[in-house]
A and B are shown apart, each in its own frame.
Chain A
Amino acid sequence: MKIREVQAILNATLVYGEEFIDKEMISACGSDLMSDVLAYVKEQGLLLTGLVNPQAIRTAEMMDMKCIVFVRGKMPDSSMIQLAEEHGIVLLCTEYHMYKACGLLYSNGLCGKE
């Protein structure tokens, strides 16, 4: 699933990364606790999180994740956007809660590898 499709499905605002939105995501991970995310080293394209602080960006960076979706309408601040720019990580914001956002992406085919 391309990032632009993720954006459309989640009715999300693109905060940063226009030039990368045709990147293909093969799997995703949803969590507010970063070590949970770090426990799955397999290629994870997309991170969904309610955690809006620089460590969400750092975690994506360490994991080579290409896109972060902030759920529940939370907006990253300018220092986070700058960090995302440095590492070419797309930032999206959706009003949906975690459960719904994950469910929508999953049912639209972003299931990850079994």
Chain B
Amino acid sequence: MSFLSELIKLVYQVDGDDFTAAGSASSDVKRIMKQLGMDSEITRRVTICMYEGEMNMVIHAKGGEAFVEIDDEKVKILMKDKGPGIPDLNLAMQEGWTTADETARNLGFGAGMGLPNMKRYSDEFQIETKMGEGTTVTMQIWLNGGKKVA
């Protein structure tokens, strides 16, 4: 028996100009997962992944869209933006590497930890990027038998 008989699909527009509202999509997903009674560790991993993605879209890409699917096996998060793209993915995936400026740092971002965190907390992580066209990040978190991140 599974606790979800149907697939749940959620779609969010992430506004690139509203820094105060940034994170509200992740917050909504957290609320829904709690309501569904989903495991708190998994909920935390999902929402951290999504929040990092959301903040990246706000800070680096002037916003974008987030698609979340929940079924009885996994949570899948797809984050898509039409921002500038990432010139060197290998560099961007390194802990501590950032292009965040003083303004972003004053807002609490620019540790260069977002993408590494997203990779570490998800069971499957994919990123596609094209200069001048945008970036798409796909993350999946298994409900059973996934990573243990301590």
Residues of B within 8 A of A59 (CB): 51, 108
Is A51 a contact of B48 with CB atoms below 8 Å? Answer: no
Contact of A35 among B26, B27, B45, B109 (CB under 8 A): B109
For the complex, what is the distance from the CA of A41 to the CA of B55, rounded to whole Å? 18
For the complex, what is the distance from the CA of A5 to the CA of B23, rounded to whole Å? 31
| Listed residue (B40, B45, B108, B112) with the most chain A CB atoms within 10 angstroms of its CB | B108
Interface flags, B110-133, vs A, CB<8A=1, else 0: 111110110011000000000000
For the complex, what is the distance from the CA of A39 to the CA of B121, rounded to whole Å? 9
Residues of B within 8 A of A54 (CB): 19-20, 22-23
Q: How large is the interface on B (under 10, 10 to 19, 20 to 34, 35 or more residues)?
A: 20 to 34
For the complex, what is the distance from the CA of A11 to the CA of B26, rounded to whole Å? 34
Residues of A within 8 A of B117 (CB): 35, 38-39
Residues of B within 8 A of A42 (CB): 150
Task: Check A53 for interface membership: any CB of B closer than 8 A.
Answer: yes
Contact A79 B20, CB 8 Å, known A36-B111, A55-B108: yes
For the complex, what is the distance from the CA of A36 to the CA of B149, rounded to whole Å? 15
For the complex, what is the distance from the CA of A109 to the CA of B22, rounded to whole Å? 35
For the complex, what is the distance from the CA of A42 to the CA of B52, rounded to whole Å? 17
Q: How large is the interface on A (under 10, 10 to 19, 20 to 34, 35 or more residues)?
A: 20 to 34
Is B108 a contact of A34 with CB atoms below 8 Å? Answer: yes
Is B30 a contact of A34 with CB atoms below 8 Å? Answer: no
Residues of B within 8 A of A49 (CB): 108
For the complex, what is the distance from the CA of A36 to the CA of B19, rounded to whole Å? 19
Contact of A38 among B52, B105, B107 (CB under 8 A): B52
Residues of A within 8 A of B138 (CB): none
For the complex, what is the distance from the CA of A61 to the CA of B26, rounded to whole Å? 10
Task: Check A22 for interface membership: any CB of B closer than 8 A.
Answer: no
Interface flags, B81-106, vs A, CB<8A=1, else 0: 00000000000000000000000010
Is A33 a contact of B48 with CB atoms below 8 Å? Answer: no
Task: Check B44 for interface membership: any CB of A closer than 8 A.
Answer: yes
Task: Check B135 for interface membership: any CB of A closer than 8 A.
Answer: no
Residues of A within 8 A of B111 (CB): 33-36, 39
Contact A62 B48, CB 8 Å, known A41-B150, A54-B23: yes
- B residues bordering A, Cβ < 8 Å? 19-20, 22-23, 26-27, 30, 40-41, 44-45, 47-48, 51-52, 55, 105, 107-114, 116-117, 120-121, 149-150
- A residues bordering B, Cβ < 8 Å? 32-36, 38-39, 41-42, 49, 51, 53-56, 58-59, 61-64, 79
